[in-house]
Amino acid sequence: MTPPTAPADAASPRPGFTPADEAFVQDFATMSAFGATPAGGVDRQAASPDDVRQRRWLAGVLEARGLRVVYDRIGNQFGLLERVPGAPYVLIGSHMDSQPTAGRFDGAYGVLAAAHAVFRLAEEWERSGGVPRFNLAVVNWFNEEGSRFVPSMMGSSVFTGKLPLEQALATRDRDGVSVREALEPTGFLGDGAGPAAAFCAEIHIEQGRGLENAGIAIGLVTSSWAANKYTFIVNGDQAHSGATVMADRKDALLGASLLVVAAREVADRFPGVLHTSVGQLDVYPNSPVVVASRVSLLLDLRSPDEAVLEEADALLHRRITEIEESARVTVERHHSHSWGITPYQPDGVELARRCARRLGLSHTDVMTVAGHDSINMKDLVPTVMLFVPSSEGVSHNELEFTTDADMVAGLRLLTEVVRSLANGELDG
C-alpha cells in the first residue's frame, strides 16, 4: 500500500497543486489528528469526546470563512453560505464520525471537500459579483456509521423523515447512554429541522478497488445495492458450562454461531452478487463458566439484484427455523431497516459526467455497495454521488488510504458540480 504523503507548505504548492489545494491537504491532516490512533487511523464514534472536538474545530473553520454554523434537532451540523436570501440550499457533505479504529478518509474526506468547495465558490462569487440561484450548506451528518448508536445513517434518516426524531433521540449505546443524553451537554442539539434542501451532493472514497484497478479517477454513482438489515436475538437457557449435560443445553451462543455460518453459506450460494455479514455480537452473561442465555447480533444482506436479495433473505429465514430446532433455542427477528436499488437521478449523473469531462478527469459509472447519507437524500431531492479511489479497497480499517492527488481531483470535480447545482442546471 502506498504510504501517506506528507502535506506540503501551502505557500509552496507541489506541481499541479494550487495553494488552495495545499490548504485543503493541510486541513485534512489537521482534521485527521482528532481521535488519531497509533496505526494511522481514527476513533471518533458519534458524540464521543474526539467527535465533539473535531466538530468544534470544523465549526471554527467554517465560521472563519464567513459561514454560519447551525445544528438541527438530531445534531446534524450545517455551515450555511446564504447568497440568495430565502432560497433553499444545495447540501454538500458526508460524516465525520467513525467506526472504532477506523480509517481517516471514510466520510471525513467528503465533509472537508464540501467545505473547501464552498470556500472556493464563495471567493469566486465575491470576486465576480456572481449570484447563484441557490444557497450552499456544508453538512456533517450525525452518526452515519452507527457504531455507537444503531441504526446507521441516523442523522440523514431523521432529516429526511425516514426515522422518527424521538425514536432516534431515545436510542441508547451499550453503556445505556441515549443520543439525547450524549448530545445535550455538547450544544449540538438545535431546535430546528435544518436548512431547506433543493439539491444534495456527496463525495466519498470508493471503499472498493474498482476505480484503482481500472486506473480511473472518478466514480459516478448511479444507484446503490439493495440491503436488508436485521437485529436477531437468540434466546437459550443459562447453565453451568462444565456440569450441564450437553444434551440438556440450550446454548444461545451456539445458535448465534450457526446463524453467522448460515449467513456466509447463503452468500456463497450467490457468488459476486450477494454480500452478508454479522458485524456485532452481544453475549449474556458473557462469563467463562456459563452457557450463554442470550445473544443479540446485527446481520445484513446486500445485493445489486433485488430478486437475489429476496431469495437469499427467504433462505436465511428458513435456516433460522432449522437452527432453532437443532440448537434448541428461539430467535427473535427484528427488521432494522432496508433500502432498494433506487437510482440516483440520471440528470444528476449526467451533470457530473459533463463536469468531469470539462476537467479532463477519467470517470465511469459505478454502484455503491456501502450505505451513505446520500442514499437517504436522493429520495428527498435530486442528489449527486461521487467516488474517488481507495488504495487496495481497504476501508473501515486504519490502513485505509487515498492519495492527495485523488482527493484533490475529487475536490475540483465536487466544486464544479456544486457550482452547476447552485446555478440551477438541474432546476425544473
Q: Is residue 427 part of a domain?
A: no
Q: Indicate if 194 and 119 belong to the same structural domain.
A: yes
Give the integer Cα–Cα distance in Å for 18 and 21.
5
Residue 5 maps to a domain: no
Same domain flag for 299 and 366: no
Given the DSSP bridges, would you call strands 363-368 and 218-224 parallel, antiparallel or unpaired? parallel
Claim to verify: residue 119 and residue 37 sit in the same structural domain: yes
Same structural domain, 86 and 106: yes
Residues 84 and 196 in one domain: yes
Question: What is the per-residue burial (b if ≥16 Cβ within 10 Å, else e) of 184-221?
Answer: eeeebbbeeebbebbbbbbbbbbbbebbbeeebbbbbb
- The domain in which residue 252 lies consists of 226-339
Phi–psi pair at 6, nearest 5 degrees: -70, 135
169 within domain boundaries: yes
Does a structural domain hold residue 199? yes
Which of 319, 339, 359 is the C-terminal boundary of a domain?
A: 339
Cβ atoms of 212 and 391 within 8 Å: the answer is yes
Q: Indicate whether 12 belongs to any domain.
A: no
Residues 192 and 159 in one domain: yes
The answer to the question of residue 129 being in a domain is yes
Backbone angles phi, psi at 15, to 5 degrees: -55, 130
Helix (H) or strand (E) holding 49: helix 49-64
Residue that finishes a domain, picked among 283, 310, 339: 339
CATH code (residue 189): 3.40.630.10
Total number of domains constituting the chain: 2
How many CA atoms lie within 13 Å of 303's alpha carbon, on the beta-carbon side?
20
Domain match, 155 and 285 both = no
Give, for 89, the enclosing helix (H) or strand (E): strand 89-95
Q: Are residues 359 and 324 in the same domain?
A: no
Which stretches of the chain score pLDDT less than 70?
A: 1-12, 428
Q: Are 10 and 26 in contact (CB under 8 A)?
A: yes
Selection from 343, 346, 359 nearest residue 415 by Cα: 359
Question: Cell 448511479 appears where?
Answer: 222
117 lies in the same domain as 178: yes
375 and 324 in a single domain? The answer is: no
* Joined grid coordinates for residue 135: 444557497
Tell me the pLDDT tens digit for each residue of 187-214. Answer: 999 999 999 999 999 999 999 999 999 9
Tens-digit pLDDT profile for residues 344-397: 999 999 999 999 999 999 999 999 998 899 999 999 999 999 999 999 999 999
The reported pLDDT for the residue numbered 6 is 43
Shared domain check, 130 and 278: no
At 245, which CATH number? 3.30.70.360
402 and 416 in one domain? yes
Task: Say what the pLDDT of residue 370 is.
Answer: 87
- Asked, for residue 170, whether it belongs to a domain, the answer is yes
Q: What is the pLDDT of residue 1?
A: 44
DSSP 333-386: EEEEEEE--PBPPHHHHHHHHHHHHHHT--EEEEEE-S--HHHHHTTTS-EEEE
Specify if 9 maps to a domain: no
3-state secondary structure of 144: coil
The residue out of 339, 354, 369 marking a domain boundary is 339
